[in-house]
Amino acid sequence: MTYFQGFLVPAKSAEKRAYRDFAARTAPTFEDYGALRTVECWGDNVPDGRRTDMKRAVQAQGDETIVFSWVEWPDRQTCDAAAEKMMNDERLQFGETPVPFDMKRMIYGGFEVVEDTADGGRFGYVSGVVAAVPDDKRDAYVRHGDATAPLFKEKGALRVASGWGVDVPDGKVTDFRRAVEAGPGTSVVFGWIEWPDKATAEAAMGSLFEDPRMRELTPPWDGPTAIFGGFAPILDTGHQ
């Protein structure tokens, strides 16, 4: 994987099955145009933040759940070419068919992979994060990922992946830049950690919080505006 699209989606909590079915119907279209994998993860532990959080990022209502998802592509060129073709694909023209989420509040972007420890197989839980990083700290962000990924793997992570935003459009209602208060000279990063299960993720995070090796590393992003959460996979075309 060298490129991926990342999404945050406000989905109706009562329509989880409908959302999963909708994603399962649309995923083959992405793959027909070159996508390698589509993953959809349902919000399980998405905390409120003091300044920003994933709920506020998509203006989620009380009856909505956050979906964290991504589509992996072999390269940006394939993704961009697919986007043009999908605009006219009848399979993605829903007409009056109800869509189980508010498309106006969904946020998305394209990211160049800067960290990927490779596919670790089927997973049962995901820790997702979106943050703002100064453009002149891209190398520091990569070095931080290189240093922390082995620690996550040591604690049971199956895969650690993250990307640097290279196509993060402004939205009319919501977008990634507003979600993490990314100002001029700042880029959006999107990343995740795949775990075998929630228990392993929680134990690892607790352990790493006290690990002196982790505490010596200073994240190069703006901590107060970073948004994160824990998610359970509901669709993974790479591991059906």
**Judging by beta carbons within 10 Å of its beta carbon (0-12, 13-18, 19+), is residue 103 exposed, middle or buried?**
exposed
Give the global pTM: 0.95
Task: State the pLDDT at residue 95.
Answer: 57
Q: Average pLDDT of the chain?
A: 94
- 160 or 26: which leads in pLDDT: 160
Position 210 confidence tier, pLDDT thresholds 50, 70, 90: very high
Q: What is the pLDDT of residues 102-128, one digit of tens each?
A: 889 999 999 999 999 998 899 999 999
The angle that helices 16-32 and 76-86 make with each other, rounded to 10 degrees, is 110
96, pLDDT greater than 70? no
What is the domain range of residue 159? 3-236
* Range scoring the smallest mean pLDDT among 1-15, 94-108, 138-152: 94-108
Task: State the pLDDT at residue 120.
Answer: 86
Task: State the pLDDT at residue 99.
Answer: 79
How far apart CA 205 and CA 196 sit, in angstroms, is 14
- Going through the chain in order, the beta strands assigned E by DSSP cover 3-12, 37-45, 64-73, 107-116, 125-134, 159-167, 186-195, 227-236
Task: State the pLDDT at residue 98.
Answer: 72
Task: State the pLDDT at residue 60.
Answer: 96
Give the total number of structural domains in the chain.
1
Task: State the pLDDT at residue 94.
Answer: 59
Scan for tokens 């929680």, then name that residue. Answer: 202
Task: State the pLDDT at residue 85.
Answer: 83
5, pLDDT greater than 80? yes
Position 84 confidence tier, pLDDT thresholds 50, 70, 90: confident
How far apart CA 201 and CA 234 sit, in angstroms, is 17
Report the relative pairing of strands 107-116 and 125-134 from DSSP bridges: unpaired
227, pLDDT greater than 90? yes
Cβ-Cβ contacts under 8 Å for 184 (sequence gap 6 or more): none
Task: State the pLDDT at residue 88.
Answer: 78
Residue 73 phi/psi, 5° resolution? -130, 155
Average pLDDT for 192-210: 96
What's 62's domain CATH number?
3.30.70.100
Q: What is the pLDDT of residues 161-187, one digit of tens each?
A: 999 999 999 999 999 999 999 999 999
* pLDDT over 70, % of the chain: 96
